[in-house]
Structure 1
Amino acid sequence: MIPTPNLDHISSKDYENVYEPAEDTFLLLDALEKDAELLRNEIAPCISLEIGSGTGCVSTFLGKILGDGKAPNGLLPRLYHSVDIICCNPPYVVTTSEELYSSKSVIERAWAGGIDGREVIDKMLPLVDELLSDKGVFYLLLISENKPNEIRETMKNDYNLQSKVVLSRLAGREKQSILRFWRDIRQ
C-alpha cells in the first residue's frame, strides 16, 4: 500500500484558494494504485500530466508509484501525442453556466462544472486526444450526473479511445467513478 502524500505543509488559509483533497481525490488515488502494475510495466511513462491538480496530491502520489525520475511534467506545446498518463479531477458539480463563469471565489471555480457538470470537461476532451501518446492512458473522475456513458461513447466515436470504469464509489449522495481511456492502436 502506497501512503497518501503528506499535506501538512498546506495551511487552512491555503484551502480558501485550493481544493482540499476529499473523497474524489482519494478515489483517484485508489484507481492509480489499483493500476500501479499497468502503469509501471506496460505504460512505463516518460511524461505524465495532472489537470485540475489542486494541492498536487495526485501528482505526488503518482510520482511515488513511478519512483524517482518519473515525476509529472508541465504542459508544453511540444507534448503533442507525447503524454503517457493524464489524470483529471475536473470541476464536475452540476451548476448553472452563470455560476461557472461568475463565481466570485477561486474555490467555487474549483468545483463548479456548469450544465450537467460538463462544461469544463467537454472543453478538455479534445485536448486529451491531442496530448495522449499511443501507449498513454487518461484517468477521468466523474459523477453520475456528468453522464459517464455519454462521455465514453464520445471518446470512442470521436477519438477512437477505448474505456473502462476502474473504480466507483458513493461519497455522500454522489456516485463517483474513475474512467480509464486508452488508444485502440490495433486497427
Structure 2
Amino acid sequence: MIPTPDLSHIKKQDYDRVYEPAEDTFLLLDALEEDEKLIQSLKPRICLEIGSGSGCVTTLLAKIVGDSNALFLTTDINSFACETTRQTGLQNKITRIEPINTSLVNGILPRLKNRVDILCFNPPYAVTPHEEVGSFGIEASWAGGIDGREVIDELLPYVKDILSPQGLFYLLLIEENKPKEIVEIMKNQYGMNAMIIMQRRAGREKQFIVKIHH
C-alpha cells in the first residue's frame, strides 16, 4: 500500500486555482497501484501526465516506479498547476518532475515520439457548452464540451505516436464520455488494444479507467 501523496503544502484558497484531488483522482491512483508490479517490470524511462493539476498522480507514480533514472514529465495549460505539481513532488521528496506549461502534448511531439512508457490523463470530462473548453484557469480542469469528449477526442489520435512499444496509457472517463465507444475507436481506428480495467460510482457519476497499449 503506497500512501497517498502529502498535499498539506497546498492551501485551501489554492484550490480556487488548481483542481483539488477528488474521487476521480483516487480512482486513477488505485488503477496505478493495482498495476504496481507491471509498471515496475517495464522499468519506465519516461512517464507523462497530461493535465497534472495538483501533481498528486505523478507523485504517486514516481513512488511506484521507485529509485531509477526515470523522467516524469507533466503538462498543464494552467501555469499555477504546473508550479503546484512541482511543489507537490518536492513535498514528497520527488525531484524528477518536470512540469511543462502547454496544452495536451503540444511541444512534446515529435521529440518524444514512441518514447513514453507510462501515460496518464484525468481529462476535463464534464459535459459543458463548447464555449467553455480551452480556458487557461481552473475551468480547464473540468470543461469537456459536447459529451465531455472534446479535449479527450483531441488527444486520441496522438496516443499511438506517444506510447513506446511497451507503453501503457491510463485514461479516466465518466459514463457520459461513452467509454465503450472510446475503446472501440482506439481498436478500430488506431489499431490499439484498449479495455476498461476499473469502474466506480462517485455520487451520481460513474467513473471508469481505460487502459490502452500497442
Structure 2 residue corresponding to 1:117, chosen from 148, 151, 170: 148
Higher relative contact order (CA 8 A, sep 6+): 1
Distance 2:22 2:6 in 1: 14
Within 2, Cα distance between the matches of 1:164 and 1:153?
Answer: 9
Deviation at 1:68, TM superposition (A): 2.1
Q: CA deviation at 1:100?
A: 2.2
Residues 1-187 of structure 1 mapped to structure 2, 5 A cutoff = 1-41=1-41, 43-69=42-68, 70-73=70-73, 76-77=108-109, 78-101=111-134, 106-183=137-214
Shift of 1:71: 4.6
In the TM superposition, what is the alpha-carbon distance from 1:72 to its structure 2 partner?
1.2
Number of residue pairs the alignment of both structures matches:
180
Deviations along 1:117-168, one digit per CA (max 9) or x if unpaired, are: 0000000111212111110010000001000011111111121111122210
SS at match of 1:166: strand
CA distance in 1, matches of 2:119, 2:133: 24
- Measure how far apart 1:66 and its partner are: 0.5
- The range that moved more, 22-31 or 158-167, is 158-167
Task: Give me the whole-angstrom Cα distance separating, in 2, the residues matched to 1:61 and 1:71.
Answer: 14
TM-score calculated relative to the size of structure 1: 0.92
Rounded to whole Å, the distance in 2 between the matches of 1:133 and 1:65 is: 19
Q: 2 CA distance for matches of 1:159 and 1:46?
A: 24
RMSD in angstroms over aligned alpha carbons?
A: 1.4
CA distance in 1 between partners of 2:43 and 2:167 (Å): 9
> Which runs of no fewer than 5 residues in structure 2 stay unpaired?
74-97, 99-104
2 CA distance for matches of 1:3 and 1:159? 36
AA of the residue aligned to 1:93: A
- Could you tell me how far apart the structure 1 residues matched to 2:208 and 2:141 are? 18
User: Partners in 2 of 1:111 and 1:5 — Cα distance?
Assistant: 22
Q: Aligned AA for 2:25?
A: T
Percent identity over paired residues: 58
